[in-house]
Structures are given as C-alpha cells and as structure tokens.
Amino acid sequence: MEIILAKTAGFCFGVKRATSMAFQEAESGNPDTYTLGSIIHNPQVVEKLASAGVAVKKDVEEIGHGTVIIRSHGVTLQEMERAKDKGLRVVDATCPFVKKAQDLAALLKDQGYFVVIVGDEEHPEVKSIISYGGKDIVVVNSCDKLRTLPKKKKIGVVAQTTQSFDNLKAIVNECLGKAGELRIFNTICGATAIRQDQSRDIAEKVDCMIVVGGYSSANTKRLAEICKEIQPNTHHIEVADELDRAWFKGVKRVGVTAGASTPDWVTDEVVERIKSYEVK
C-alpha cells in the first residue's frame, strides 16, 4: 500500500508561532500563566501545555492575576479590554492573518460599510472579527441568509481565514446585487488554500484518505469535507488509535493530510500505524 503524505500537513505559521510563544511562557516558570480558551484546536498540544504548567481558562473573569496568552484565532475586542483593565500581562499570540481580518472589519465599520463576514458565526475567530465590525454586520456561510438581506448602500466583505475560496466567490456574487458599492477583502489565509488544494489533489489519486486533526479544528473539518466530496472513503481522526483496518481493505494507495493545528508527531504516528497494517 502506497502512502502519500501531504507536504503541507502539520502546523501552519500562525499555529507554530502561537504554540512556541505559549511554550516559551511555560519555560519561564511563572505559575500564574493561562491561555484564554485552548491555544489551538488540538487536544494533544493543550494537554502537553497543561503538563508544562499553562492551564486553560474559559473567561478572563476566572483569572485573578498573572499572564494571559491569547490564542492563534484571537479573542473579542471586549475580552482583550477586560484583560488589560484587570492588569493582566497579555501575551498576544493572535495569528497576524486573523489580526488583519479583525483590523479590516474595523476599517469597514469606520468607513460606513455594512459588514458581511463569510464564516461560521460560532467559531471563536469569527466572534473576534465580529467584535471589531460594529453593529451593522451579518455573518453568513452560504448565500441563503443573504437573499433576505435588504439592499445596502455600501457592503464590505471579509472572510474567516479558513473559508473556501469558492464559497467566498459565491457570497460575493450574491452581494453584487445587494449594494451600490461593494468592497471585498480576501482574508482567506494562503496556508489554508494551499493545504486544501494539495489535499484535493491527493484525494483524487487515492482509494482511501485520512485527515488528521482536532474535531473542533475548523480547517481540519473543512479538509475532511473537501476530501470526502472527492473520495467517499475519507476519514477524519484525531489520533492513530482511531484508525480502522477495515477502511484499508483492497486499498492500493492511501492519502494522509493534516490540519494546520496538528502536530507532526501525531501525523507520524498515523502514518506508522498504516504502514504496520501491510506487514501483518
């Protein structure tokens, strides 16, 4: 069985940066260091960090003093202000690409645009972008919600960094009929698009596709959806123990890809486990 591993599998720039900032803080030995929410959407990394002394807190109010590390997909403007008001030391590990989407939402708001965010409104990154975009705002992940939107003078569009380019294009197309003036910022992260293209290419060549990454990781879930559309024998797993030998029956080529928040050691274990199926 041939295994094709995506070259782009593993940490992206923003996740690498955030995790290394968090582990640096852990090494400093300060006992009162916390992340606000999980630093990245990967339970294995969160556990490692907890053993190194950096605990997860869900809310700024749970932190009395010390250092708070802001995760790669950012926090809301209000959370950031509350942390500063409480006198906490803030280590901002927000990915610069997410920061850019937040800043552009604020710019659109300041310039009087009705802001359309293309994304999943429950995702923390989108919640953070919303907080910068003011009150004239809507979050959509398909064209349906836009169809009932009344016409606006000016619409400005930004996207969750993990959105697919095709979805952004479809929504922008719908916005064209809704506004006299339309301003679009393509805030989709390049790392996401490259990962998606490469996974798509691999899924076309294999009989089974394994997507490795946290179940709460938006970009991993998206990779799994893309691959499943091409190769129905696609499986999203978090760790090697979830692999099922039955998936590989009659399979000549298997593809492995991983989300941007999946550590290499987790993907390596998956590859090694698949290799072991051949020997037995």
Residues 67-106 that bind ligand SF4 (CB under 6 A): 72, 95, 97-98
d(CA 195, CA 35): 27
CB of 216 to ligand SF4, least distance (A): 14
Does position 212 interact with ligand SF4 (CB under 6 A)? The reply is no
Question: Which residue in the set 260, 266, 270, 271 belongs to the binding site for ligand SF4 (CB under 6 A)?
Answer: 260
Does 218 help bind ligand SF4 (rule: CB under 6 A)? no
**Residue 179 or 212 with smaller CB distance to ligand SF4:** 212
Number of residues interacting with ligand SF4: please give it, by CB under 6 A. 14
What are phi and psi for residue 124, nearest 5 degrees?
Answer: -55, -35
Residue whose C-beta lies closest to ligand SF4: 14
**Does residue number 192 form part of the binding site for ligand SF4 (CB under 6 A)?**
yes
How far apart (Å, rounded) are the C-alpha atoms in residues 150 and 153? 10
Instruction: Single out the segment in contact with ligand SF4 by CB under 6 A; choices: 185-193, 206-214, 245-253, 267-275.
Output: 185-193
Taking the least distance from each CB to ligand SF4, the nearer of 94 and 233 is 94
Is-contact 97 139, C-beta < 8 A? Answer: no
Of 5, 6, 9, 12, the residue at the interface with ligand SF4 (CB under 6 A) is: 12
| Whether the Cβ atoms of residue 225 and residue 234 lie closer than 8 Å to each other | no
Considering only 70, 191, 211, 226, the residue that binds ligand SF4 (CB under 6 A) is 191
Following DSSP, what letter does each residue of 106-170 receive, concatenated? HHHHHTTPEEEEES-TTSHHHHHHHHHS-SSEEEESSSHHHHTSPPEEEEEEEE-TT--HHHHHH
Nearer to ligand SF4, 102 or 192 (CB): 192
Is 125 a known active-site residue? yes
Q: Which residues contact 40 (CB under 8 A, 6 or more apart)?
A: 15, 18, 19, 46, 71, 72, 214, 217, 261
* Binders of ligand SF4 in range 124-163 (CB under 6 A): 161
Sheet strand arrangement including 152-159: 137-140, 114-118, 152-159, 179-184
Site for ligand SF4 in 15-34 (CB under 6 A): 15
Name the active-site residue from 25, 61, 62, 125.
Answer: 125
Residues 6+ apart with CB under 8 A from 157: 115, 116, 117, 118, 168, 171, 172, 175, 182, 183, 184, 185
Are the CB atoms for 136 and 115 separated by under 8 Å?
yes
Selected from 1, 13, 43, 136, the binder of ligand SF4 by CB under 6 A is: 13
Instruction: For ligand SF4, give the closer residue by CB, 15 or 184.
Output: 15
Instruction: Supply 234's token pair.
Output: 């696609």
Q: Which active-site residues does the annotation give? A: 125
Task: Report the interface residues with ligand SF4, using CB under 6 A.
Answer: 12-15, 72, 95, 97-98, 161, 189, 191-192, 219, 260
